[in-house]
């Protein structure tokens, strides 16, 4: 008899289903009627049916293929610790156990990465599948498996797949998950066997969400329809190196600089790019044609399912490590909390993988955060070392404009044929669709083939005088490091068994995609940082900040930075290392351009200040101090703006109902800039900040960047003089609310900081509005208007009585099943979704419960997990997940960690055999 099993909600099948999915909505309606009918009729949807997919966690099971018994010990939160006597048994059991808890999530992920969502969800997903087939993640993953991965990694992937398939063997859909049972009403879909390539392809999805500055590249080009070069520069200021410290402050990059500074070449790595602004691109000045093309690309990007982030926007994370000389324990403490989009279940799965005796036959004793669908541990610790990750933000993607000519494209003065392949997309409930995917000779897929808007570019786009005749138009191709076979899966296993810094650096060198900031600590009181990754070099004049002219051979990448030339630090004298998506190195002290678009360092500098203040005060840092730092809610932009806002005169002659606005203004007096959930001052300030951004920047951006449905009367493009009100045109925003600009992150902190002393900047000018008696012509006028507008906005949202206001009432987190929980009437959403939670924190805050100021106050990305590793006593380490171990909607472990996560609590993280035994509530023995 097959064991009871569990599965997971999965990843979002795409926003296009919401846009044009009549069939998808019909599917949901049918499901709801079936569910309601089943529940009220007491027939199919019984309690036993709902529980049919829950995992067996006690007793024993036979698992063919094991060489010996395996123990699966689960604690009160359902977190498994696996004990085996061989590597193959360990990873086979990992596959089985993750499938028990999360198979539905795993299955949706592999359909996403392979461009096969239509097989599960019908024709609403065809456009997404076309785009994903064009990227070809699964094809690259197969090439990795065949050509680049080590024999041991292949063995582990095979063992993992074997475990997943052992779980699937003999099960009906209803025995796997509630979602499959629901799909069964309209679809005869049956899960296929798991393969090693299914595991590898998920790394491509992770790389996509952490791909660097592609969004900024698009946005800068889109801005050119309404903004000039100086205005765009205002909105992308230089990184404040003097105020917000880079990650690597002393040490190894100095040695690199001494070797390479001033040289024109670095061998196979190509030439250094300096810090130029990128000339020679076909779109530096841009017009409406390019806007249309890039807007089309943005539509496609917005439609893609959320994998592990908000499609590349706002992706961040915190990690830091403190050496033993500054800790209570005398050994390092290491903290990490990756910031990703909220998903149900969480993208992370907590697990321990333990060899009963570590030897050449069984090499692992590691615990931490895994991805359901992939063997190994991604972030965590073993018996000797601990490590964490944050997104480095280095630029590993470039868009290229391509001159199309017949079946080819122009390159270096001649027409080169595309490399083409045919793909068949199978559609549940409909006819299959055939598409042709075209790539350049160097493997760049032509993204413009996937959108009718993208094809229009050559008819309108402005290009420089050296550009070829536009003819039939330009296409857009993508160069991305993840579209080349790599060794990141090798890196995962190498890190899991690393015993020291040398081992860890060697493992990191294999982690080519995505490029991550890796921090390190060990039980011998060493700390370190290294930047791995396949990072391209570009010729002078091409810095990846805007789309490049594909016909110019000089625009192609010149190579990659050698691994031994990438920045790192080991045991710096300051005694700590902080990474929070800030600049890796000072650009004046490093010969290569890693990116033109760092995060601006608000979080990293706040963490640095918190650590340094503890050190300067003579105190020692504890595990709980690290936890409290993760929960820091201080607003850096509030510290800058509130003193100015308190000086604004809210007078009856300028403002209607001025006394009500003054009451709100008084909330800011004595406020400590902390964004707690119960703070009325935080609610009002963030509303003022949102309105400042809207008035000064948002209303001046092109429609492609503004929130969908928000309409403005604007001057026609290319007007040179004053425009009469009757001549203005109505333009409505086109971007989803969680993707729009200005998003309010720390780039916008820097924009406003740079303009603060320019009282009469054009950015502060706004027209007359309903609540104001005149237009705004300077900074204080605009701030006054923002304070008024914020008062009336919160009156509408929270009521007139400011005593009832709180930040948490605005700043709420909803957790949604990313497939069937994102659409349809209330019953199905009630079954699968959870929330809301009222959260503290905010954008560019250490406690980074992010929100998009253009779209509203709701939480769009979160600390997806939190951990603090104690290298003095690993059993005193702490961890928490956003949701729970299970992906089954009514399982006890579906969201059993979320309340504690929201309150900032951490769970005990047992590692030693004795500690795990003490915490074990259920034991399942898997037998050969």
The secondary structure of 669-705 as a DSSP string is TT--SB--TT-HHHHHHHHHHHHHHHHHTGGGS-TTT
Write down the H helix ranges in 210-248: 214-223, 229-235
The residues, any chain, with a CB within 8 Å of residue 11's CB and separated by 6 or more, are 105, 108, 109, 112, 305, 306, 307, 343, 818, 819
Which two tokens mark 793? 């906005």
Per-residue pLDDT, 252: 55
Mean model confidence pLDDT for the chain: 85
Sign of the Cα torsion 181, 187, 193, 197 reads negative
Residue 50, pLDDT above cutoff 90: no
Beta pairing partners, 909: 877
CB 234 within 8 A of CB 751: yes
Write down the H helix ranges in 542-657: 602-616, 623-630, 636-645
Sign of the Cα torsion 499, 501, 504, 510 reads negative
Q: Which of 141-155, 217-231, 522-536 has the lowest mean pLDDT?
A: 217-231
pLDDT tens, 424-455? 999 998 999 999 999 999 999 998 888 654 44
Burial per residue of 303-339, b for 16 or more beta-carbon CB atoms within 10 angstroms, e otherwise: bbbbbbbbbbbbbbbbbbbbbbebbbbebbbbbbbbb
Strands (E), 323-374: 333-341, 349-355, 365-370
Q: Which of 208-222, 333-347, 350-364 has the lowest mean pLDDT?
A: 208-222
Cα–Cα distance, 746 to 751 (Å, whole number)? 9
More confident residue, 655 or 452: 655
> Which secondary-structure segment (H or E) carries 908?
strand 907-909
Cα–Cα distance, 96 to 40 (Å, whole number)? 35
- Placement of tokens 């910031």 in the chain: 339
Length of the chain measured in residues: 928
Question: DSSP class of residue 586?
Answer: -
In Å, how far from its chain's centre is CA 651? 44
CB 372 within 8 A of CB 378: no
**3-state secondary structure at position 336:** strand
Sign of the Cα torsion 842, 848, 853, 855 reads negative
**3-state secondary structure at position 548:** strand
Average pLDDT over residues 881-906: 97
In Å, how far from its chain's centre is CA 774? 42
Q: 912 phi and psi, to 5 degrees? A: -70, 160
Question: DSSP class of residue 872?
Answer: S
Cα–Cα distance, 566 to 594 (Å, whole number)? 10
- pLDDT bucket at 823, cuts 50 / 70 / 90: low
For Cα atoms 422, 428, 431, give the angle at the middle one, nearest 5 degrees. Answer: 55
The residues, any chain, with a CB within 8 Å of residue 372's CB and separated by 6 or more, are 8, 98, 101, 102, 105, 106, 109, 349, 887
Which two tokens mark 500? 């020291």
Q: What share of the chain is helix, strand, coil (3-state, %, to 5)?
A: 35, 20, 45
Which two tokens mark 66? 């094991």
Cis preceding linkage at 684, omega within 30 = no
Beta pairing partners, 70: 926
CB 306 within 8 A of CB 862: no
Sign of the Cα torsion 84, 86, 87, 93 reads negative
Cα–Cα distance, 564 to 580 (Å, whole number)? 23
Beta pairing partners, 480: 397
- pLDDT bucket at 128, cuts 50 / 70 / 90: confident
Cα–Cα distance, 10 to 129 (Å, whole number)? 16
- pLDDT bucket at 300, cuts 50 / 70 / 90: low
Per-residue pLDDT, 470: 61
Cα–Cα distance, 315 to 513 (Å, whole number)? 16
How many other β-carbons are positioned within 10 Å of the β-carbon of residue 426?
12
Cα–Cα distance, 880 to 901 (Å, whole number)? 6
More confident residue, 845 or 727: 845
CB 500 within 8 A of CB 385: yes
Q: pTM for the whole thing?
A: 0.90
Which two tokens mark 486? 């790599």
Name the most confidently modeled range: 215-229, 286-300, 533-547, 676-690: 676-690
Per-residue pLDDT, 261: 31
Q: 639 phi and psi, to 5 degrees? A: -60, -35
Residue 292, pLDDT above cutoff 50: no
- Tally helices (H) and strands (E) across the chain: 28, 31
- pLDDT bucket at 674, cuts 50 / 70 / 90: very high
**Which percentage of the chain shows pLDDT scores above 70?**
82
Residue 298, pLDDT above cutoff 70: no
Question: DSSP class of residue 794?
Answer: H
Q: 758 phi and psi, to 5 degrees? A: -100, 80
- pLDDT bucket at 726, cuts 50 / 70 / 90: low
CB 684 within 8 A of CB 664: yes
Which two tokens mark 506? 């060697």
Which two tokens mark 345? 């279940």
pLDDT tens, 78-122? 999 999 999 999 999 999 999 999 999 999 999 999 999 999 988
Cα–Cα distance, 289 to 308 (Å, whole number)? 32
- Placement of tokens 């070797």 in the chain: 259
Cα–Cα distance, 339 to 336 (Å, whole number)? 10
């Amino acid at each position: 008899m097959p064991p009871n099993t569990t599965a997971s909600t999965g990843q979002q099948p795409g926003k296009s289903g919401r846009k044009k999915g009549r069939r998808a909505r019909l599917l949901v309606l049918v499901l709801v009627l079936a569910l309601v009918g089943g529940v009220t009729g007491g027939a199919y949807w019984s309690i036993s049916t709902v529980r049919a997919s829950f995992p067996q966690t006690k007793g024993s099971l036979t698992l063919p293929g094991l060489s010996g018994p395996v123990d699966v010990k689960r604690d009160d939160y359902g977190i498994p610790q696996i004990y085996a006597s061989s590597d193959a048994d360990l990873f086979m059991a990992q596959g089985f156990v993750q499938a028990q808890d999360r198979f539905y999530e795993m299955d949706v992920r592999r359909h996403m990465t392979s461009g096969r969502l239509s097989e599960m969800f019908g024709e609403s997903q065809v456009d997404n599948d076309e785009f994903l087939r064009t990227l070809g993640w699964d094809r690259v993953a197969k090439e990795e498996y065949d050509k680049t991965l080590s024999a041991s990694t292949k063995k582990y992937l095979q063992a993992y797949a074997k475990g997943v398939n052992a779980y699937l063997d003999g099960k009906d859909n209803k025995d796997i998950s509630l979602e499959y049972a629901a799909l069964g009403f309209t679809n005869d879909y049956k899960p296929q066997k798991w393969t090693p390539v299914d595991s590898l392809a998920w790394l491509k999805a992770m790389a996509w969400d952490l791909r660097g500055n592609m969004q900024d590249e698009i946005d800068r080009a889109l801005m050119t329809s309404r903004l000039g070069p100086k205005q765009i520069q205002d909105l992308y200021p230089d990184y404040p190196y003097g105020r917000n410290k880079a990650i690597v402050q002393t040490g190894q990059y100095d040695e690199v600089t001494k070797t390479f500074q001033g040289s024109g070449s670095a061998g196979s790595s190509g030439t250094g790019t300096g810090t130029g602004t990128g000339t020679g691109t076909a779109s530096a000045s841009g017009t409406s044609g390019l806007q249309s093309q890039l807007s089309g690309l943005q539509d496609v990007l917005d439609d893609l399912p959320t994998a592990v982030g908000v499609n590349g926007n706002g992706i961040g994370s915190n990690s830091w490590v403190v050496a033993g000389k500054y800790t209570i324990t005398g050994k390092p403490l290491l903290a990490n909390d990756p910031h990703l989009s909220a998903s149900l279940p969480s993208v992370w799965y907590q697990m321990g993988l333990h060899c009963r005796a570590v030897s050449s036959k069984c090499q692992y004793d590691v615990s931490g955060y895994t991805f359901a669908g992939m063997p190994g541990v991604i972030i965590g610790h073993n018996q000797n070392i601990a490590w964490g990750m944050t997104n480095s933000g280095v630029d590993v993607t470039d868009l290229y404009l391509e001159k199309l000519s017949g079946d080819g494209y122009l390159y270096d003065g001649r027409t080169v044929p595309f490399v083409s392949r045919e793909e068949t997309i199978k559609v549940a409930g409909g006819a299959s669709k055939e598409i042709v995917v075209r790539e350049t000779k160097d493997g760049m897929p032509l993204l413009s083939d996937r959108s009718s808007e993208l094809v229009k570019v050559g008819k309108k786009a402005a290009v420089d005088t050296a550009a070829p005749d536009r003819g039939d138009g330009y296409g857009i191709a993508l160069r991305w490091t993840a579209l080349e076979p790599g060794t990141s899966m090798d890196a995962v296993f190498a890190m899991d068994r690393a015993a020291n810094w040398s081992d860890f650096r060697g493992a990191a060198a294999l982690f080519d995609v995505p490029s991550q900031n890796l921090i390190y600590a060990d039980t011998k009181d060493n700390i370190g940082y290294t930047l791995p990754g396949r990072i391209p070099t570009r010729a002078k004049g091409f810095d990846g900040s805007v789309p490049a002219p594909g016909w110019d051979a000089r625009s192609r990448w010149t190579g990659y930075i050698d691994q031994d030339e990438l920045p790192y630090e080991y045991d710096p004298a300051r005694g700590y290392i902080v990474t929070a998506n800030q600049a890796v190195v000072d650009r004046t002290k490093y010969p290569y351009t890693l990116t033109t678009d760092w995060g601006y360092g608000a979080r990293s500098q706040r963490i640095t200040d918190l650590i340094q203040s503890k050190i300067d005060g003579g105190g020692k840092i504890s595990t709980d101090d690290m936890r409290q730092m993760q929960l820091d809610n201080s607003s850096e932009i509030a510290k800058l703006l509130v003193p100015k806002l308190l000086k604004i005169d809210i007078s009856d002659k300028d403002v209607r109902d001025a006394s009500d606005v003054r009451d709100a203004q008084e909330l800011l007096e004595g406020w400590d800039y902390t964004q707690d959930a119960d703070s009325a001052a935080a609610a009002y300030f963030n509303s003022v900040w949102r309105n400042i951004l809207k008035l000064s920047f948002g209303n001046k951006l092109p429609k492609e960047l503004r929130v969908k449905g928000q309409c403005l009367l604007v001057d026609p493009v290319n007007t040179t003089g004053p425009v009469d009100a009757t001549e203005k045109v109505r333009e409505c925003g086109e971007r989803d609310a969680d993707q729009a600009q200005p998003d309010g992150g720390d780039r916008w902190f820097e924009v406003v900081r740079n303009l603060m002393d320019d009282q009469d900047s054009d950015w502060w000018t706004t027209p007359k509005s309903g609540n104001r008696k005149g237009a705004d012509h300077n900074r204080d006028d605009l701030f006054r208007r923002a304070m008024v507008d914020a008062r009336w906005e919160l009156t509408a949202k929270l009521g007139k009585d400011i005593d009832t206001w709180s930040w948490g009432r605005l700043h709420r987190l909803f957790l949604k099943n990313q497939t069937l929980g994102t659409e349809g009437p209330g019953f199905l959403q009630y079954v699968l979704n959870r929330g809301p939670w009222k959260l503290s924190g905010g954008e560019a805050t250490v406690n980074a419960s992010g929100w998009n100021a253009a779209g509203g106050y709701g939480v769009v990305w979160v600390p997806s997990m939190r951990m603090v590793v104690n290298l003095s006593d690993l059993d005193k380490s702490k961890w928490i997940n956003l949701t729970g171990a299970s992906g089954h909607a009514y399982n006890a472990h579906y969201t059993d960690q979320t309340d504690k996560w929201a309150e900032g609590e951490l769970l005990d993280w047992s590692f030693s055999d004795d500690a795990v035994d003490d915490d074990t509530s259920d034991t399942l023995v898997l037998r050969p």
